Structures are given as structure tokens and as C-alpha cells.
Amino acid sequence: MRDGAIDDPSDGWFPESIAADYDDPEGSSAPEVVNPAVDLLADLADGGPALELAIGTGRIAVPLSARGVPVWGIELSRAMADRIGDKPGGEHIDVTIGDMTSTRVPGEFSLVYLVFNTISNVTTQDGQVDVFRNAAAHLRPGGLFLIEVGIPDLRRMPPGQDTVPVSVAPDDDGGYVGFDHYDVATQLFTSNHVTVTADGGRFRAIPFRYAWPAEMDLMARIAGMRLKHRWAGWDRSPFEHESTKQVSVWEKV
């Protein structure tokens, strides 16, 4: 955390205390995670401008910009967005602070993208439809909207169970446990994180809403888009019944 900084409630679920460690090079910012995403996004942008919804700390946008793709961003959390300018090349990325369901930026884009499960941070169906509509409103005709999001782990739950473990990582000073708690009647779930250290512990629960691929295809149709690609990962591997993630691309018609 930056010296003297405190969490601002307007930053939502990603305040300063989360932003401070978000770019851990061992996690989602590792080159083996970022590079395949940037490769595919650069190819889909095809030389045109791109808009990242929920741009975060720029872990994808900054290297994509370095590949010659002009990138703009929308981000709710100032604590996250403030870190973009600290990165080499980040000063070339224009970020608008706002909600990705409704915030508009000038111009038309070849590609709008939303990665790392962030569509699920919008916890109503209407809100998720608004994300699709907002993406479509920023696209030029024939432009593409990409979402990366996990497939719900409901198949791992026997009757009567509502919780799925995600990660258990003990160490000498304590450890970490992560688990997801599902309500299948509402399609809501919480991602729960328990961290224990020698100095104590912390519990954090983040609400999400899951949507199946077919539901997202309908959201896209409502917004004037149609499915163009669906892969199981950034490597364009086929999406199948055992896939744990979708990387889906819709085209504005």
C-alpha cells in the first residue's frame, strides 16, 4: 500500500489495499498469463483502437499498447487505475473513471474487451446486459467484443452441497484458503478468501453473478451482436463440455 493511503469506498471491491498487491508477478501478471492474451487481442484488433472495460492496473492494456494497439480504458477504481501511469508506456493510455455498464468514451473501436472474470462482478442480469450494450455502443460496425470468464464449477457439487474449494496454500507462517459459495436459484456466488499470517488473518468475500455461455449469447443478441468465436482459452483451443473457461468473441452486426 502506498504510504499513508487508505481504502476509498468509491473504489468498490478493488480499493488501495487490493491494488497494492494486484500486480504480483507470480499471479495474473505473470508473462505466461499475460502474453497469450495480448497476442490474441492484438490479432483481433487488427490495427484498430481497443477499449478495455475494467482496465484495472493495466496488466493487459500496457503490453497491448506496446504492441502498437491504441488502447483506452474504463475503470471504477481510482486506486487500480492510478497504477497504469507508473508503468513504462502507461502514460499513453487514456483512462476514464466510471462504471462499465454505462460510462462512455469518445470514438469508435475495433475491439472492446473484458477479461479475468470481471463480467461476473456485475451481479444482476440487467447489469450484465448493460455491459454488452455499452460495449456494442463503442464498436464500429463489424467490431468485436471479447470476454474471458470461468465456467461455474457446479458440476463439482453433489446434491446438497453449495461450496467448492478453489485453493489451499499452507506455508510456514500460516497460509491461504479460497472457496466459492453458490446459490443456484439466483446465479449468485461469493468468492471467499481466508489469509492467515503470523500477525493474524483476513477474510474477504466478493459477490459475483455467473452466466452460462448461452445466456451471454442472448445478451449479445439483445445488444446487436452475434457470436463469432468461442474458445477454451487464449490459445484458441476448442471450447468443449469439460472446458473450465470461455474466451468468447461477438461481432457487432
Domain boundaries, the chain: 9-152+211-252, 154-207
The pTM of the full predicted model, rounded to 2 decimals, is 0.94
- 207: Cβ–Cβ under 8 A, 6 or more apart, which residues? 123, 188, 189, 190
Amino acid letter, residue 45: A
Q: Which pLDDT belongs to residue 27? A: 81
Element (H, E) at 127: helix 125-138
- Residue pair 246/213 in contact (Cβ under 8 Å)? The answer is yes
CATH architecture, domain defined by 9-152+211-252: 3-Layer(aba) Sandwich (3.40)
Quickly list DSSP for 21-79: TTT-TTTTTSHHHHHHHHHHHHHHHTTS-EEEET-TT-TTHHHHHHTT--EEEEES-HH
Predicted local confidence at residue 5, as pLDDT: 73
- The average confidence (pLDDT) of the chain is 95
The predicted pLDDT at position 3 comes to: 55
Which residue's C-alpha cell is 464498436? Answer: 139
Give 68: exposed, middle or buried? Use CB within 10 Å, 0-12, 13-18, 19+.
exposed
What pLDDT was estimated at residue 21? Answer: 87
For the chain, residues with pLDDT lower than 70 are: 1-4
What pLDDT sits at residue 172? Answer: 78
pLDDT digits (tens, 9 = 90+) for 97-122: 999 999 999 999 999 999 999 999 99
Q: What is the pLDDT of residue 101?
A: 98
User: What confidence score (pLDDT) does residue 162 get?
Assistant: 97
